[in-house]
Structures are given as structure tokens and as C-alpha cells.
Amino acid sequence: MTTASDESTAPASPPTDPEVSIVLPVFNEGESVEPVLRALSSGVTAQHELIVVWDFDGDTTRPVVERLAGEIPGLRGVRNDLGRGVLNAMKAGIAAARAPYVLISMADGSDEPHVVDPMLALARGGADVVSASRYMPGGRQIGGPALKRLMSRVAGLTLHWFAGVPTHDPTNNFKLYARRYLEEVTVESTAGFELALELTVKATLAGRTVAEVPTTWRDRTAGQSNFRLRKWLPHYLRWYAAAFRGRFAARRSRPPTEH
């Protein structure tokens, strides 16, 4: 995955050799992003950097990040110059990341900062993809549209049980990736949030290690979600089908068992 981006805000004292880069795509989050950034800064004990990515200089998140950059270690802003939208914002953030591990998190406070360290521990142990899972034992989801919740749960659990995807929650974008994997994979997503599912399915089919930790996801309490189910559903279905095709192809290619 090779991309380019333009850095807009640099931290006053960037961390030396961060172990994990935390990428947060934003769209006019304004002041509501401050508690999210502070929670990540205090909740993640590993050496890290926080990369906030916006599409245009007038984004209301930018002045908040600029104000906090000298106060929160490792915080910096990046302008996405790859084309507007959450997909390109995530790609721009990944390109700007300096650490061997990259974590994607939303800027709406729905993700739990304290699970980042356990995710990182699994990555240190060799996992290429680590998912924060709402649907494994110990995980749960609070709030959100009922239809979206149902479809996400059904998709995740059927992929896990029947398509062999190791995580119970492949659609959750709150995931950590090893840079070695990101540098080798070709991203084909075109819409946005289906990126996490694509990367998880491709890692599974390539025989890479996919791990998970339980998390509690809470629907945002400030601002407005940019998730559009009808718009992105066909893109999710593409990778849902790809997982099953790959599973069945692998079964057909196995030599017959001798009795």
C-alpha cells in the first residue's frame, strides 16, 4: 500500500520511535474530538503517535488538533490529499504513520482506548491483523441502529463460523495492522469502511495470523455518524462473498483423504 499525504500539523515533541501509530479519520468533529484524543493519549501505555486526518483545511477538527498538538505527546494532523472520503483519509494516515504497527480508530469515542495495549501484545506475538471484537465472548455493543447492528453481527459470525475468518468481528474498523502486511497487500476497496473487512479477509485467505480481543463498542454521543449502510452494503458484500469463495476453493484444492 503506497500512498502520499500532506502533513499539516506537527507535534511540539514527537515520540521517539513510536511502536504504534493511531490513525483517526475525521470530518468536522470540532471540539468533540478533544476528549477522544485525551483518552487515547492516557489510555495507551505503549509508545504511540496520534495521527488525525482531515480532507480540507477548513475542517472544524483542525484548530482543535493544532491547539492540542503542543500538549498531547505525539499528536499531529495530516491533510488527506488523495481525494475526499474516509477511505482515502485512512490510506493517507497509514502512509504518514511511522510505527511498525498501525491502528485505525474512529474519532467519535466509540472505541475503547484500553484495549489497544492488549491488541499490540498480540501483534508483537506475530499477528498481522488484530481486531477489537464486539461479538466474541466478553465483547458487546451498546447503541446504534438496530438494522446495522443485526447485519454486522450476522455477517461477522457467519464469516467466523462458516468461512473460517478467525475473528468474530471482521467488519469492525477498530483494528491493528502490522506494517509488514500493509506494505504487501493491494487495497481494492473504493467506498470506505469496507477496508477493514477487505484486509481481514485477504489476511485470512493468505494464511496470515488474525487475532482478536474483546471490546465494548458504544454509539457516538456527539456529532453525526458518516456511515451510510445503503451506500456501502454492496462493497461489504463483495468481500463477504470473497471470503466464502476462498474458503470453498481451498477445500476443493485439498488432496483426497485416503481411508
Interval 152-174 mean pLDDT? 96
Rounded CA-CA distance 66/8 in Å is 9
Which domains are assigned to the chain?
A: 6-248 (3.90.550.10)
Rounded (10°) angle between helices 146-162 and 229-253: 10
Interval 117-123 mean pLDDT? 98
Where residue 2 falls among pLDDT bands split at 50, 70, 90?
very low
- pLDDT value, residue 32: 96
Distances (CA, A) of 161 to 188, 201, 216: 25, 14, 21
Interval 208-222 mean pLDDT? 88
8 Å CB contact between 24 and 51: yes
Work out the percent of the chain whose per-residue pLDDT is above 70: 86
Interval 60-89 mean pLDDT? 97
Q: With a cut of 80, say whether residue 87 has pLDDT above it.
A: yes
Q: What is the mean pLDDT of the chain?
A: 91
The per-residue DSSP string of the chain comes to -----EEEE--SSPPSS-SEEEEEE-SS-GGGHHHHHHHHHHH--S-EEEEEEESSTT-THHHHHHHHTTTSTTEEEEE--S-SSHHHHHHHHHHH--SSEEEE--TTS-S-GGGHHHHHHHHHTT-SEEEEESSSTT-EEESS-HHHHHHHHHHHHHHHHHS--SSS-TT-S-EEEEHHHHTTPPP---SSTTHHHHHHHHHHHTT--EEEEE-EEE--SSS-----HHHHHHHHHHHHHHHHHHHHHHHHHSPPPP-
- pLDDT value, residue 228: 59
Distances (CA, A) of 4 to 34, 48, 245: 26, 21, 33
Q: Which three cell numbers stand for residue 107?
A: 474519532
8 Å CB contact between 68 and 37: yes
Distance, first Cα to last Cα, the chain: 46
Q: What is the pTM of this model?
A: 0.89
Q: Which three cell numbers stand for residue 183?
A: 506494505
Q: Which three cell numbers stand for residue 87?
A: 477511505
How would you label 1-37 residue by residue, b for 16+ Cβ within 10 Å and e otherwise?
Answer: bebebeebbebeeebeebbbbbbbbbbbbeebbbebb
Of the candidates 227, 176, 215, the residue with the CA atom closest to the CA atom of residue 21? 176
